[in-house]
Structure 1
Amino acid sequence: MQRIRFRLPERNTRRARVLVAALLSIFLLGGMFGPTAASATPAHTAPWGGYDELWVPSSMGNIKVQVQWAARGGNAALYLLDGLRAQNDRNAWSFETNALDQYRNDNITLVMPVGGESSFYTDWYAPSNFNAQPITYRWETFLTHELPDFLAGYGVSPTNNAIIGLSMGGSAALNLAGHHRDQFKFAGSLSGYINISGPGMREAIRVAMFDAGRYNVDSMWGPPWSSGWLRNDPFVNAESLRGLSMYISSSNGIPGPYDHPSAPIDYFHTATGMGLEALSWVHARAFEIRLKSMGIPATYSFPPAGIHSWPYWSAELWMARGQILDTMNAW
């Protein structure tokens, strides 16, 4: 049988070739870049309210950051720093407190970085050699460069930020704000150890970090005579905090309204919390005297009872809320 062939006019043939090429390009580019680029590329305006878990590129690898967006798309952010035993799956502010509910209707984005156990949220000299740490902590770089640059893609300002932390995170919040005044307008320390050069503190930090993950403190700031210790002591660098809105809080270690131990382990944790809080109270009072002697104002909160535990920090976060929102113009 004779095969019958149909030939398109030359003009139509060229159009068909162009159409096929265009469709092929779309298909290939979509397969190579489409879903990945869409999930990794930030929006250009801040989402209104809601909650996300972001993976942010850094020199330490991708870091998980829990975010509750400003209720009305505002560009202000409040960074919430964790304590010495920070977990790798979620920031304790998100489940040990009601921080999300406290700020849900406010025009400020909550930023809760995940991880950083025993890091003091600083840039370390080297990986810890006691526990075969695979990376060098670079938390200051992350929190002051990589993370704000990433969040800027969502409409969060790199220069309109507040930062607050508890215990280890308290001293870190003051250090980061003091060294990066272009980024932070407010800093808060809740039961923080903010006189690191005080008697016995360098030895105490060494023991605490070894207990919380077998970290070698010499990998962080070097030996006790290193300048790294002085750079990361808010007491020493108090002048860098002048003009910054600050909230400094600590109780005295006396068990308070949230403490109801019943089992032996509860009594153990209560006793530990009493000692830790009493030490932070000494630091906060010394810091108060230091700032007042320099003519640097700050807000102080010294509740009559309370230990080193989350219910008290949740309450203090609420107490600081008005000052934070006023400073950030984020009501």
Structure 2
Amino acid sequence: MRRGIIGAVVMALALLGLGARPAAAEGASVVNVANLSPTRTAVFIFSPAMGRVVQVQILHPAGGGARPSFYLLDGLLPGVDQSTWTTATDSERFFLGKNVNVVLPVGGIASYYTDWQNVDARFGNYKWETFLTRELPPIIDGQFGGNGSNAIGGLSMGGNSAYILAARNPYLYRAVAGYSACPDTAMSLPAMLFSIARHGADPGNMWGAIGGPGWGAHDPAQMIERLRGKALYLSSGSGIPGPHELELKPQLAENIFTGGPVETMVLACVASFDARARGAGIPIHVAYLPVGTHSWGYWQDALHDSWPMVAGAIGA
């Protein structure tokens, strides 16, 4: 009888995301590996949850040995053949020589890196949470040197998702970083609906009826206690053009006229989440920048700024 009670308690804790981590979904497997350089590897993994092959690229040390992993998520429009972190920032050079796997999923346009309730006519069968939290980590740890000490971060949509995934799977991550991210689903709801619909998908297919229980179950602000004990980082600019707007880039006008107002809205959300965390007695490091738009130059800066905190939390 005692054994049955203990088993029931362990199962309940696992279902709540507070106990032992779940096993990998059956059948997740590596189908191809391409060594792009001595410190960058492309891994192609069959995901049973999504019923297709997903590419993940890993930045890693040139040598062997076990090391922590930093799962780094893209934004609303991710790269097609590789993560935009490697094409729009100095991330590959920045992590060179650091004892960490930087795990970069490829794809997932407007997915919020979550499990969609319904198959969408535009996006198909999105099951990103299952892939990122159940299928992928055992492969990273079992075949690519991961030691089970993990952090997760991302920019904009990916930053929202990093906080959502950490709140829903608190056993898995020791640190969470969001760059120009709004980890308050209720506050970011209009922007989320617009971003999904703009790319031809049905927002109701993601978490069910808009504003319903499925949405609340993916709101870090409502699950903030699950983030207690983790190293937490958020950053936001003010929306005012800054030094990166002095750089002559093709997207300069977009950064100023679109990225400025977007970052202003992000700032309000970041400040609200900051106040909520501190009100609950949960330490959080928030980088409030006096200038800065919703653009890559500032996300690169924030990645650099957050790294010492993330590295300390995972032992990198």
TM-score range, shorter chain: 0.7 to 0.9
Pairwise mapping of residues 186-225 of structure 1 onto structure 2 (< 5 A)? 186-198=175-187, 201-211=188-198, 213-225=199-211
For 2:58, give the aligned amino acid: V
Equivalent residue for 1:53, pick from 28, 34, 42: 42
Does 1:326 pair with 2:312?
yes
Equivalent residue for 2:105, pick from 79, 99, 113: 113
Counterpart position of 1:7: none
Counterpart position of 1:24: none
Counterpart position of 1:19: none
CA apart distance, 1:203: 3.0
Pairwise mapping of residues 133-212 of structure 1 onto structure 2 (< 5 A)? 133=123, 135-157=124-146, 159-198=148-187, 201-211=188-198
- Using structure 1 for the length normalisation, give the TM-score: 0.80
Q: Which runs of 5+ in 1 are unaligned?
A: 1-38, 43-47
Equivalent residue for 1:68, pick from 59, 67, 70: 59
| Structure with greater proportional strand content | 2
Max Rg structure: 1
Summarize the Cα distance change of 1:304–1:142 in structure 2 as closer, same or farther, 3 Å threshold: same
Instruction: Provide the alpha-carbon RMSD of the alignment.
Output: 2.1
State the alpha-carbon separation in 1 of the partners of residues 74 and 279 from structure 2.
Answer: 30
Does 1:283 pair with 2:269?
yes
- Number of residue pairs matched? 281
Residue deviations 1:224-277 (CA, integer Å, cap 9, x gap): 232111111111111110111111111111101000387997324421000111
Indicate if the aligned counterparts of 1:119 and 1:137 stay in contact, CA closer than 8 A. Answer: yes
Indicate if the aligned counterparts of 1:57 and 1:146 stay in contact, CA closer than 8 A. Answer: no
Equivalent residue for 1:122, pick from 114, 122, 125: 114
Counterpart position of 1:297: 283
State the alpha-carbon separation in 2 of the partners of residues 165 and 81 from structure 1.
Answer: 4
Counterpart position of 2:7: none
- Using structure 2 for the length normalisation, give the TM-score: 0.83
Indicate if the aligned counterparts of 2:164 and 2:183 stay in contact, CA closer than 8 A. Answer: no
Equivalent residue for 1:84, pick from 68, 76, 80: 76
Q: Give the match's secondary structure for 1:121.
A: coil
Residue deviations 1:65-99 (CA, integer Å, cap 9, x gap): 11111355332001110001113221100111111
Does 1:247 pair with 2:236?
no
Q: Give the match's secondary structure for 2:117.
A: coil
Residue deviations 1:16-70 (CA, integer Å, cap 9, x gap): xxxxxxxxxxxxxxxxxxxxxxx8488xxxxx96111110110221101111113
Moved more, 288-297 or 149-158: 149-158
Indicate if the aligned counterparts of 1:159 and 1:184 stay in contact, CA closer than 8 A. Answer: no
CA apart distance, 1:178: 1.6
Indicate if the aligned counterparts of 2:31 and 2:46 stay in contact, CA closer than 8 A. Answer: no
